[in-house]
Amino acid sequence: MGDRVERIIERPIVMSYTCYDVLHHGECGESAPKPAGLEGLSPGRTNRERIRIITEVLADLRERGLAVVDTPVRPLREAIRLLHNSHRRLYGRYAIREGDGVTQGGFHIAESEGCAVLAAWEGEQLVLEPLSPETMLPTVVSLLPATAPIDDAAMVVAPERPPRHVPDGPAELRAQPAREEGRPDPAQDAVQRNHDRLEELTTGPLDFVMQIGRSTRTAGGSERACEHPLNYYAGARGALLTVLKRPGEGSALRRHVLPATRENVLRELRELGRAG
């Protein structure tokens, strides 16, 4: 289970990723991995350089009233610890196309005992923001761009495109002679068209791509994550979601493709929680 949460920050705090790195390792240990969605290299190649960075970060925190001497204030430390060790988590990484370049970012929302916090980073900046647990899912939606959803209806396809012109089904059907020239198989053509459309929507110049996961810490202390992440794509043709699901226990995976309306995003985020 997560550590008991005393009191976290009450207002958003903007900091550099370097500052977050120093806080994380100071509260959680030098060898502690960062939470999913917030992974990044720790600055400082040598011990001397690392000490200099820590000193500068603490001086900045003191100037902002967020540290006393060399100790960050308790609500800030509690927020950092909550991110590292919580009961429930929502997290993701994303990429934004800006001109000829791509900006990387990520987020992690952690909740325990009625306390929740968002950490969202982009480039060199990270924002810590307190949340109420019931706003966790809408907060994820707020991180997405205001791109209209695709006009397509929802569809379900195989995880991978099947070979063209090879009928599905029992071996005896596949062994039959190929259909006559000029007489297409409507069912197979529909499958290929669906995969063509999926490829068109999820490749090429996209403006924004995000992958979202969800996990829960069990009573025994282990972490149970959703089996497959939720993928969000936004481009000139609109925004869509894709996610792998099993129709039933032990059944084959299918890829669900649907317009990225607010209702669909919230529903699929809830489904991630049930899949974990």
- Tell me the pairing of strands 254-259 and 155-157: antiparallel
pLDDT tens profile 180-195: 455 556 667 788 888 9
Q: What is the mean pLDDT of residues 195-199?
A: 91
| SS3 state at 74 | helix
| Residue 176: φ, ψ to 5° | -70, 155
pLDDT band per the 50, 70, 90 thresholds, residue 175: very low
- Whole-number pLDDT of residue 1: 46
Q: Which tokens in the block code for residue 15?
A: 């900091």
Share above pLDDT 70 across residues of the chain, in percent, rounded to a whole number: 88
Tell me the pLDDT tens digit for each residue of 243-274. 999 887 778 999 999 999 999 999 999 999 77
Instruction: Determine the average pLDDT of the residues in 15-21.
Output: 97
pTM: 0.87
SS3 264: helix
User: What's the whole-number average pLDDT of the chain?
Assistant: 89
In which band, very low, low, confident or very high, does the pLDDT at 162 lie, cut at 50, 70 and 90? confident
Q: Read off the pLDDT of each residue in 37-46 and give the average, rounded to a whole number.
A: 91
